[in-house]
Structure 1
């Protein structure tokens, strides 16, 4: 926006806020619609269609205000695509007798692979061919996804007649305090991760005087490591339980953020990525399944709720990172992720004990 549309820095804030709030709204709306019986495949296609139109619209965008409208009314609905996909996976696993946790982690590992390649390719293409090429490429990928969805995904029908009362009852299943607490756990854990992602590169380059390329190497190494960890976590969860395993993941995060305060050279930082990869692989691999298990009758709402909790944590982490960096050093700011993940672990422990006590009763 700054380079191509000459937008002011403050406008980026407005765009980011509008885009984020729109994503929260549409994700929750479409998730609730699936629980009321609307075909999840059709909603998913609508969401991907919004991404396709956004890619085309951005390629012809010439003013910042146009980008804002596209971000709110097209990218917002497009943000619902991943929660809807997670809801489809949940429903498919239940009807087919498959392990939902393993299916979720397999899908999420695919997202991680895209995150490894996608941003790097986007910067390369933007540098060589310009921003318009990137937007048209994203529209093409969305069109391919639309075609594949229409041809490969099973048909889903809206529930009517005898299923209407049951569907309505399921869509009104209460959102208990435990659900909100689990959402807070996901928000706090993702807050810690996004604060770390924001501050860590600045800390390594500005305060430890390490090469500017080194933070990118660390992030890539962690991303590669988290994929097998996700898949392994799905297998282990059946033996240990998801809640216990995710608390162990938070413990790995606390160890990592603590030792990060002591590491001063590249070798130490590379070794520490072992703990970071274990934490994030377990967290993103099991988080969605924990929320869905807590709301088995409302998989659409649960998937959107998890995604929105993660997105809220990301927004809060980025905001707190900027504020703390103004008030303290980057090294001191990296203590906030440690505090946040410890709070997530304690809250998860409380939820787990409360659930166990109710089960006994």
Structure 2
């Protein structure tokens, strides 16, 4: 009886773990189908000027921060995180439908982005639920989170090339409807297979003390991750247009570059997760920052397809370590607040979009897309300076 009971528990846990992996992949697919082609969608379908494209990214980031931060605080205090994820996925479906059939810039910015902000919040909430589940079951959180992040990267291996193929071959309407299907599948899996982790009101006081002790380092880490994601956002916004309009290279190369980097991020995340305890998260983040400096210096000097693809190894080290270790760094600095810590980390990507959206369109319109990478290089230097001041955990 004991053996069969243990086996049943093992099977249930395996189903739960597999469901987390599928949800991580599907939320990644939903984002990877939309984000890489958004600048082209706004330029070619909505006919927005470069400055308006940049403003769209900035506005979407601001709305996303407000929505996600509100949901994060609420999810840590009360309610069921599982139900919140399902709700976010369903609003993500509505956002995809609006982008599929509407071409009005301001409707997309204010209504579409508001709905899609809920959809994108499903991902950090899933990671928060996964951290709580790992702590509850005694599973090693670093590797579990690293494997989940690897699923998101796997989605970004498949997503960008698929997005360009769908958009160029069948149109943006089909591409956004495919993203909607991913959200529907995600909501179904979450509802039927992920665990409910009800909030317990005890120990609220102890949870507040840890962030206060680590407040300076949490804020410094916020700046570091914001700068790193900001450079990546500059790259995502400008790279497709830089490749097509300035270098006059094939459109599919942009999707191939993003897919190659995402594929290389998978082993990078797993290796970083394995060595995190041995070398520390700060050391790994410094390695990422150096790789980023080399990558953006290369974008300023390398303009041939083979070398552009080869440089994606540096990009993968840069983003792979940031994506795999950055979130865990925040969670360690903010124990007992998985939702707030994970969303704070996720909001560094949104603040990065604000910075990138404000700079990218204006710089490209006044000068050119090449100049944007000089901005990214300068942000990389600031990142290195901040990493010299933060302590390890």
Shorter-chain TM band:
0.7 to 0.9
2:138 alignment partner in structure 1: 97
Is 2:156–2:258's contact at 8 Å kept on the other side of the alignment? no
Does the 8 Å CA contact 1:200/1:334 hold for their aligned counterparts? no
TM-score if structure 2 supplies the norm length? 0.77
Q: Is the contact between residue 189 and residue 341 of structure 1 (CA under 8 Å) also seen in structure 2?
A: yes
Q: Structure 2 vs 1, CA of residues 48 and 259 (structure 1 numbering), >3 Å: closer, same or farther?
A: closer
Q: Which shows bigger deviation, 182-191 or 211-220?
A: 211-220
- Helix, strand or coil for the counterpart of 1:229? helix
How far apart, CA to CA, are the structure 2 residues paired with 1:123 and 1:209?
Answer: 17
Deviation, structure 1 residue 159: 2.4
Stretch moving more, 289-298 or 211-220: 211-220
- 2: distance between equivalents of 1:347 and 1:289? 18
- Deviation, 1:81, is 0.7
**Match for residue 352 of structure 2?**
313
Question: Alignment partner for residue 159 of structure 1, among 190, 200, 203?
Answer: 200
1:359 is aligned to none
**Segment of structure 1 superposing worse, 313-322 or 2-11:** 2-11
Question: For residues 291-335 of structure 1, what are the alpha-carbon distances to aligned partners after superposition, in whole Å with 9 as ceiling and x for unaligned?
Answer: 111111211111111111111112312332233334545444422
Residue in structure 2 matched with residue 291 of structure 1 by the alignment: 330
1:185 maps to what in 2?
224
Please say if 1:21 is aligned against 2:62.
Answer: yes
Mark the CA change 1:179 to 1:331 in structure 2 (over 3 Å): closer, same or farther. same
Is 1:54 aligned to 2:54, yes or no?
no
Task: Output one character per residue of 1:254-284: Cα deviation in whole Å (capped at 9) or x when no partner.
Answer: 2233344443544444443332222221121
Judge which range, 105-114 or 331-340, deviates more. Answer: 331-340
Offset from partner CA, 1:109-141 (integer Å, 9 cap, x none): 222222232343344445555554444443333
For residue 321 of structure 2, the aligned residue among 279, 282, 298 is 282
Q: How does 1:60-75 map to 2 (within 5 A)?
A: 61=102, 66-75=107-116
- TM alignment of 1:349-360, pairs within 5 A: 349-352=388-391
1:225 to 241, 247, 264: 264
Question: Which moved further from structure 2: 285-294 or 309-318?
Answer: 309-318
**Length-normalised TM-score, structure 1:** 0.83
Seen in structure 2, the aligned counterparts of structure 1 residues 16 and 333 have a Cα distance that, compared at 3 Å, is closer
Provide the residue aligned with 1:337 in structure 2: 376
Q: Which residue of 2 aligns with 1:170?
A: 207
Q: Where does the alignment leave 5 or more consecutive residues of structure 1 unmatched? A: 357-361
Aligned length: 350
Q: Does 1:148 align with 2:189?
A: yes
Measure how far apart 1:251 and its partner are: 1.1
Q: Which stretch shifts more, 189-198 or 83-92?
A: 189-198
Shift of the 138–221 alpha-carbon distance from structure 1 to 2, 3 Å rule, reads: closer
* Partner-residue secondary structure (3-state), 2:197: coil
Cα gap change, 1:137 to 1:254, in 2 (>3 Å): closer
Decide which moves more: 88-97 or 128-137.
Answer: 128-137
